Amino acid sequence: RRRFEHRKDREIPFDAAALISAVATVFGLSEDKFCGPEKSAKAMLAKEVLILLARERGCSVTELSLMAGLDTSNISRRHDAAREKLQTDRKLTYARDQVEKLYIANIAESQT
Q: Give the confidence band of 37 by pLDDT, cuts at 50, 70, 90.
A: confident
5-19, 57-71, 96-110: which has the minimum mean pLDDT? Answer: 5-19
Q: How confident is the model at residue 34 (pLDDT cuts 50, 70, 90)?
A: confident
What burial class does residue 35 get, using C-beta atoms within 10 Å of its C-beta: 0-12 exposed, 13-18 middle, 19+ buried?
Answer: buried
CA distances from 23 to 3, 5, 6, 98, 100 (A): 33, 27, 24, 9, 9
Using DSSP's 3-state secondary structure scheme, residue 57 falls into coil
pTM score over 0.95: no
Count CB atoms within 10 A of the CB of residue 59. Answer: 21
Q: Which class for 31: exposed (0-12), middle (13-18), buried (19 or more C-beta within 10 A)?
A: middle
Q: Sorting pLDDT into bands at 50, 70 and 90, what band is 43?
A: very high
Q: Which of 8, 6, 14, 27 is nearest to 106 (CA)?
A: 14
Residue 3 confidence (pLDDT) = 40
